[in-house]
Each structure stands twice: as C-alpha cells, then as structure tokens.
Amino acid sequence: MASSPPQTLLLLLVGLTTVFFFFFISASADPDMLQDLCVADLSSGIKINGFPCKDAATVTSADFFSQGIANPGLTNNTFGALVTGANVMTIPGLNTLGVSLARIDYAPGGLNPPHTHPRATEVVFVLEGTLDVGFLTTANKLISQSLKKGDVFAFPKGLVHFQKNNGRVPASVISAFNSQLPGTQSLGATLFGSTPPVPDNILAQAFQTSSGTVKHIKSKFQPKK
C-alpha cells in the first residue's frame, strides 16, 4: 500500500534529520568521550587516535592543572612572537575532552606567521595591545580585522591565518581550540624547512621563482647552530 503524502513527507524529514545527525557527529573535531575522564598516559608506547588512559587510581588534580600560560612568554626570536600551549601534552586531563588553550605573546612588530590548525577552529581573545589579523578562504579571499584589548576573533578550522602586532607595545592573546591537540603547520617552515626537504624545482615552479631563490629561502629555515 502506497504511503500518503503526509506520511511520505514525514519519512523524508526523519531520513534527512538522521543523515544530518550522523554527519554532525562525524564532523566534530575530536571523538566524544566514553567515560567521565581519560587522563592521558603520555609515557605509554601504545599508539592510538589520542592517548591511552592512565590508571584511574593514580589520577590527581595535577592532571587537570597548569600555570603554563599565566605569564608572558619570551619573544626574542626570529618572528618576535611565542605560542605557549595548554593542550593535552601539558594538561593530560584534557585527553578526550576536545578542548585546549594557548597563549600567544607578540613583541612590537611581532608576527605569528601564516599557518593552519588542521584539527581545530581557533578563537582568540586579546589580553593586551592591538593586532592585525586575518584568514584566507579557499576562494583566496582575505578576511581581516584590527583587534584591540577585549576583542574576540575566530579563525575557521584548517584555513591559513596570521596575527601581526603593528603597535609600539607588546600584545598578547588567549586562544581557544575545539581539539585537545589542534596541530600547527606554519607555511614557511613546512615548505622550506621540512625533513627531508621539498625538492627545489618543485618549490621554484610552485612559486614561479628560481631554484637559487628557493635555496636562499631554505637557508632561513635551517636549524640554528
């Protein structure tokens, strides 16, 4: 017996809702937790997607605590900026919780160079100073904004983005991520400082330049001796 139009519409809506529900679950940044807590056993040799749980009997408050981003980081480096993570590697209790933080400090003129977080969206809150920030869409559109103390800005998951302190005083932000370990790929270091190196002719053709120029750029990304 054929379904009536209202029944057909209801079945269609139920089907679409079910597909959307399972798609939403599968698209979340990190897998959902299956117990109250799963403090990461960072010393375990077992390799899984995430980290194995340490024995619950040995869990303490220290596994969920950190003072690592309480104070400004040193910015006397090449880019004049420093990222200090508060993720599962420093707070083992974040394992399976799907969240993490970072603090980024910028000297005057400091730059957090173009990079991506392949596993997370990032939201920054400006603690001090001013910043010029932006991200690039897959249509090569630049979305940019000037930020001041108290402002919030979001960088979508996986998109290339940057932050620059064009001010005359230091700046700092707190970054929040929807992943326990968002990962970072800095474009310059990834392309010109990888091991083994990307062949010079590949980069020369990709950037429409000479192999000599590529070698010069690569020399800037070699480990300092």
What is the biggest distance separating any 2 CA atoms in the chain, rounded to whole angstroms?
A: 80
Q: Where are the alpha helices (DSSP H) in the chain?
A: 5-26, 187-192, 200-206, 211-220
Question: What three-state secondary structure class fits 22?
Answer: helix
Ligand-binding annotation for 216, yes or no, is no
Cα 113 to Cα 220: distance, rounded to the nearest angstrom:
14
Please, are residues 173 and 125 in contact by the beta-carbon 8 Å criterion?
A: yes
Ligand-binding annotation for 117, yes or no, is yes
Nearest alpha carbon to residue 101 among 133, 76, 129, 68: 68
Question: Could you tell me which residues are annotated as the binding site for oxalate?
Answer: 112, 117, 122
Question: Could you tell me which residues are annotated as the binding site for Mn(2+)?
Answer: 115, 117, 122, 161
Question: Could you tell me which residues are annotated as the binding site?
Answer: 112, 115, 117, 122, 161
